[in-house]
Structure 1
Amino acid sequence: MDWLKISVFTQKEAEEIVTALLMEAGAHGVSVEGDNEACAKGGLPWDYLSDEVTKKAPFCVAAFFPCDGNEGAVLDDIQRRIGDVRSMNLGLPLGTLEVKTDVVYEQDWENAWKAYFKPAKISDFFVIKPTWEDYEAKKDEIIIEIDPGMAFGTGNHETTRMCVHLLEEYMEPGMTVIDAGCGSGILSIAAAKLGAQKIYALDLDPVAVEVTSENAALNGCEDVIGAQKSDLLSEVPEGEKADIVVANIIADVVISLNSIAKHYLKVGGMYVCSGIIDSRLGDVRKSIEGEGYKVIQILEDGEWRAIACKYRG
């Protein structure tokens, strides 16, 4: 299948807003890119660029939609949503919000990932290794082998790295984990390799669910990870109580999830949330504390924040 790539030029501070806009419009995958010579050759994701380059390069969020005859309607819908965002007083620099479209052929998409997605150590122990790359683990390193396909998540984003750090800190063998917004399954696989007994890997995007299942099998975790399509935690069995709920999504969705997650957490269980840009940290923390959680730790990486908190019951 070929893909319509819709790029929205914005500012890094508005990344989560534009990402949410595109996902709500039905995107099957999202990447963050700079539009300069260093990354234009293959749509190199922004995460792989040096600090020197990112300071000079325009910032854009690109989303991918199937070329199925509905491209015009999709573009009109996104332009309408951008108009709505322009009219809001969000207190963030939005950039031009200019829209650019391209067609990406399936083979080109695959080759772009293979050219630029390399093994990377993302935490104290975990190394993300794409399936097509060779890598020999060093002492104490834990390998997560993935093929992201059209799902969002290569593991190299700040929000993912912070979530993995927090899982390393709070996970204990035998725990039950809920991964809300599993993407390509990196957090679920990390939890499994840290000894989780049962993991609910949930995502509203059926592509993400499929890719998570495939990556779980690649890592020998398919018996522990149950990936399924779910609106937030709606598909978690009634009465199930997890030791950890982890959510690497965006601030507004985290705020919506705060009141839901506690019903699926054991008293004393940990709630780990990320995808929170610094300007929204206060809003998210206020919501978290209002729902009976105690904030234990806040990690910072660039503009992004991750929160670990305990549910007090």
Structure 2
Amino acid sequence: MDWLKIGIRTQKEAEEIFSALLMEAGAKGVSIEGDNEACSKGGLPWDYLDEEVLEKVPFCVTAFFPCDGSEQEVLADIKERVRDVKGMDIGLPLGTLEIITQTVREEDWANAWKAYFKPVKISDFVVIKPTWEEYSAGQDEIVIEIDPGMAFGTGNHETTRMCVRFLEEYMEPGMRVIDAGCGSGILSVAAAKFGAEKVYALDLDPVAVDVTAENAERNGCADVIEAKRSDLLTEVPEGTQADIVVANIIADVVIALNGKAQKYMKRNGMYICSGIIDSRLGDVRKSLEEEGYKVIQILEDGEWRAIACKYRG
């Protein structure tokens, strides 16, 4: 299948606004790209580029939509949504808001960035290793072998790193975990390798579900991880009481999830939420406290924030 790649040129401060806009328009995932020559040739997600490159390039929020006959309708919808945002008094620099499109063959997209995805240690113990790279694990290192395929998630984004750090700190053997918005399954596999008894890996994108299941298999966790297509928590089995719910999404979706997650959590269970840009931290924290959570810890990484809290019941 071919894919229509739609990019919106903006400023970093407005990343979350346009990420949410593309998701609301039906994107299965959003990536951030630099608009330099390397990106334009390969369509390389922002996470895969060297920091020195990032400092020199403009900012572009991109998403992929299937070329199934609806792509022009989708493009028209996105243009209208961008015009609406442009007319609002948001108080943030929005950039040019130029919309860039490109048709990409699936195999080209899936393979172009592989040269840029190398083994990377994202926490005290966890190393993310692409399947096509060699790596000799050091003492106490936990290696997670990943092939993201068409799903989003290599583990090198700040939001994922912070979630893994929280899992390292709060996971105990025998726990039950819900990963809401599993992407390529990194957090689900990490939880399993930290000793989880059961992990429900949920994502609305069927590609993400398939990739998570494949990554669970290649990491020897298929008996622990149950990957399911789900709109947030709708497919969690009735009566499930998780020790930890982790949601690495975006602020507005986290806020929508806060009141729903409680149904599937043990009293004093941990709720880990990430994907929160600094400017939205106050909104998310206010929502959490209104829903009865006690904030335990906040991590910061660049512009991003992650929150660990307890549900007091």
State the match for 1:305 in structure 2: 305
**Partner Cα separation in structure 1 for residue 185 and residue 16 of structure 2:** 20
Q: Can you list the C-alpha shifts for 1:26-47, whole angstroms capped at 9, x where unaligned? A: 2234321100135333223222
Q: Where do residues 147-296 of structure 1 align in structure 2 (5 Å cutoff)?
A: 147-296=147-296
- In the TM superposition, 1:28-177 aligns within 5 A as 28-177=28-177
Counterparts of 1:91 and 1:207 in 2: how far apart (Å)? 36
Question: Are 2:177 and 2:242, in contact at CA under 8 Å, matched by a contact in 1?
Answer: yes
Aligned to 1:11: 11
Instruction: After superposing the two structures, state which structure 1 stretch, 31-40 or 245-254, moved more.
Output: 31-40
Shift of 1:107: 2.6
Secondary structure, aligned partner of 2:216: helix
Conserved? CA contact 1:29–1:150, under 8 Å: no
Contact 2:48/2:113 (<8 A) preserved? no
Is there any run of 5+ residues in structure 1 with no aligned partner, and where?
none
Q: Which amino acid aligns with 1:179?
A: D
Residue-by-residue CA offset, 1:72-115 (whole Å, 9 max, x unaligned): 11111111221222233333222221101111122311221312
Deviation digits for residues 244-303 of structure 1, max 9, x if unmatched?
000000000111111111121111110000000000000000110111111100000000
Task: Name the CA distance, whole Å, in 1 between partners of 2:217 and 2:152.
Answer: 18
Q: How far 1:213 moved relative to its partner?
A: 0.9
- After TM superposition, give the deviation of residue 60 of structure 1 in Å: 0.3
TM-score (ref. length: structure 1): 0.96
Q: What SS does the aligned partner of 1:214 have?
A: helix
- What is the aligned length? 313
Over residues 184-236 of structure 1, what are the superposed CA-to-partner deviations in whole Å (9 max), with x where a residue is unaligned?
A: 11000000000000111111111111111111111111111111111111111
Secondary structure, counterpart of 1:215 in structure 2: helix
Letter of the structure 2 residue corresponding to residue 171 of structure 1: M
Q: Which TM-score applies when normalising by structure 2?
A: 0.96
Change over 3 Å in CA distance of 1:56–1:250 after alignment to 2: same
- Aligned with 1:79: secondary structure? helix
Cα distance in 2 for residues equivalent to 1:122 and 1:68: 37
**What is the RMSD computed on CA atoms of the aligned residues?**
1.4
Amino acid at match of 2:157: H
Paired AA for residue 129 in structure 2: K
The letter for the 2-side match of 1:167 is L
> How far off its partner does 1:24 sit?
2.1
Report SS of the residue matched to 2:235: coil
Q: Percent identity?
A: 78
Counterpart amino acid of 1:239?
G
Structure 2 unaligned regions, length at least 5: none
Q: Specify the SS of the correspondent of 2:42.
A: coil
Q: Distance in 1 between matches of 2:311 and 2:275?
A: 20
Separation (CA, whole Å) in 1 of partners of 2:53 and 2:114: 21
C-alpha deviation, 1:6, in angstroms? 0.8
Residue 78 and residue 299 in structure 1: after superposition, are their counterparts in 2 closer, same or farther (change >3 A)? same
Hey, what's the Cα distance between the residues in 2 that align with 1:136 and 1:240? 38
CA deviation vs aligned residue, 1:38-81 (integer Å, no higher than 9, x gap): 53332232223344432331000111111222221111111122
Residue 27 of structure 1 corresponds to 27
